[in-house]
């Protein structure tokens, strides 16, 4: 099992890397249709070096999801259930922020995706409550591909 420090590090790195590439991969459902324990036991790809020019965004997102569930299990909380509609909604917003060069909860460049509820309702209208967190951090120096931490 992955130790807590490694889990936190991967979680932070995964949040950062989530915003690096336009949503184009289709493996996300495969990564989420197994238990969190089996995801780490049966997936050697997660231990490979990350090529910053060819990031498997779906794999990194699955890391966030499964590491979160493992931490929830460690605290006697129930696992999160993967939601395809929320995944697609958040991907749309990340891609909009990249394409339109902004970082905000509100998309002022495209009214169709302006608010969180607009983005979620594109895929599902059954939610009673919604919230959103976005993260921006510079943990990687693109010139040297070295992990760094700016305070």
Mean pLDDT across the chain: 76
Q: What does the DSSP assignment read for 50-92?
A: P-TTS--HHHHHHHHHHHHHHHHHHTT-PPPPP-HHHHHHHHH
Q: Locate 80 and state its tokens.
A: 């999160």
> How far is the C-alpha of 101 from the C-alpha of 95, rounded, in Å?
10
Cβ atoms 55, 89 nearer than 8 A: no
Query: Is residue 131 located within the same domain as residue 97?
Result: yes
Dump pLDDT digits (tens) for 37-84: 888 887 888 888 877 778 888 888 888 889 999 999 999 999 988 888
Q: Tens digit of pLDDT for each residue in 4-24?
A: 444 444 444 444 444 433 334
Same domain for 29 and 67?
yes
Do 94 and 59 share a structural domain?
Answer: no
Where helices occur in the chain by DSSP H, the ranges are 4-17, 28-32, 36-41, 57-74, 84-100, 116-121
> Considering the entire predicted model, what is its pTM?
0.65
Q: What is the number of domains present in the chain? A: 2
Backbone conformation region of residue 134, classed left if phi is above 0, alpha if psi is from -120 to 50, else beta: beta
Q: 110: which 2 tokens?
A: 């495209």
Give the per-residue pLDDT at 21: 39
Whether 68 and 19 map to the same domain: the answer is yes
Could you say which of 41, 74, 107 is where a domain stops?
74
**Domain carrying residue 50:** 4-74
């Amino acid at each position: 099992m992955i130790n807590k420090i490694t889990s936190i590090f991967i979680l932070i790195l995964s949040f950062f890397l989530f915003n690096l590439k336009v949503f184009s991969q289709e493996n996300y459902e495969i990564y989420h249709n197994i238990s969190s324990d089996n995801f780490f036991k049966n997936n050697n790809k997660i231990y490979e070096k990350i090529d910053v020019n060819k990031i498997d965004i779906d794999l990194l997102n699955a890391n966030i999801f499964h590491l979160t569930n493992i931490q929830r299990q460690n605290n006697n909380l129930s696992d999160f259930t993967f939601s395809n509609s929320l995944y697609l909604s958040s991907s749309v917003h990340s891609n909009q922020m990249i394409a339109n060069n902004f970082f905000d909860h509100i998309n002022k460049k495209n009214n169709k995706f302006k608010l969180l509820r607009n983005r979620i309702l594109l895929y599902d209208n059954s939610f009673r409550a919604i919230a959103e967190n976005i993260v921006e951090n510079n943990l990687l120096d693109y010139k040297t591909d070295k992990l760094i931490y700016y305070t």
